[in-house]
Amino acid sequence: MILYLTGIDGSGKSTIAKRIEKEIFHNKKVVSIWSRYQPKFVKLLLAPFKKKYTSNSSEPHLMDKENFSKWVILKKKLTKNIFLSKLLFTIQSIDYYLQLNHVKKEIKNHKDKVVIIDRYYLDFIVDQSINYGDISNWFFTKFFLKKLEKLTLVLYLDVDEETAMNRKDDIPSMEYFTNRKYYYTKYLSKIDNAYIVNNVREIEETIDEIKQIIIDNKT
């Protein structure tokens, strides 16, 4: 069984993953895989532009609210050209797909176990949609969404922006969450084995719902 947990930052993925292992699969071996995209090629191309907007040189992905807004404006200018956008996205997609070789090996090596994946294709697509807008009809988006349908279940943990903001202290603005929620919802509708699970309630209720989804998909 391969479960993919996804959702905006602060949705509770790590917490839910631990509870799933402890309470639903307590009698089985569980393997957790973290597979977030680590940009290499495009990062080198954009680094000179991004550098002046980061407030901490040791954490180049972190920005304060003001610099985050400025960086978003600059990215929109850089990606306004559709040809440039598709080229960058293609490079990123190939880069990520090659990085996922370790995930494929892990899944193959643990095919008799329960595999829980945190960060995967959908998170990658949403992150890039923030840069390029609606990319639902682009080749690699369709390709990656089809890959997700080969998993047992895709579980999206749904929380409102305010709850997520209260759970995280390194996010620059509410806009960060709002934009991502929009794209997660958009792409989830294209995945047949995806379920949206409310995670703004007692955690026991969330676990019970996930347990029922798993049971329903075994029959």
pLDDT digits (tens, 9 = 90+) for 37-86: 998 877 777 667 677 777 554 444 567 777 777 777 777 777 778 898 99
Report the 10 Å Cβ neighbour count for 151.
Answer: 20
pLDDT for residue 58: 47
Is residue 138 a part of any domain in this protein?
yes
CATH number of domain containing 170: 3.40.50.300
- Checking DSSP bridges between strand 153-158 and strand 194-198, what pairing results, if any? parallel
Q: Write down the pLDDT at residue 170.
A: 80
> Does a structural domain hold residue 188?
yes
What's the sign of the alpha-carbon dihedral 99, 103, 108, 109? positive
Is residue 77, in this structure, part of any structural domain at all? no
Residue 79 belongs to some domain of the structure: no
Q: Is residue 90 part of a domain?
A: no
**Per-position pLDDT tens, the chain of length 219:** 999 999 999 999 999 999 999 999 999 999 999 999 998 877 777 667 677 777 554 444 567 777 777 777 777 777 778 898 999 899 999 999 999 999 999 999 998 999 999 999 999 999 999 989 999 999 999 999 999 999 999 999 999 999 999 988 888 788 899 999 999 999 999 999 999 999 999 999 999 999 999 999 986
Domain residues for the domain of 141 are 2-41+100-216
Q: State the DSSP H helix or E strand holding residue 30, giving kind and residue range, or none if neither.
A: strand 30-34
Rounded-to-5 percentages of helix, strand, coil across the chain: 55, 10, 30
- Give me the number of domains the chain comprises: 1
Q: Does residue 7 belong to any structural domain of this protein?
A: yes
Residue type, 202: E
Cα angle 178, 170, 58 (rounded to 5 degrees) comes to 130
Q: Using an 8 Å Cβ cutoff, are 37 and 185 in contact?
A: no
CA atoms within 13 A on the CB side of 135: 30
Which residue is listed with tokens 């202290």?
A: 169
- Please report whether residue 122 resides in a domain: yes
Sheet holding 2-6, edge to edge: 30-34, 114-118, 2-6, 153-158, 194-198
Specify if 81 maps to a domain: no
Q: What is the pLDDT of residue 5?
A: 98
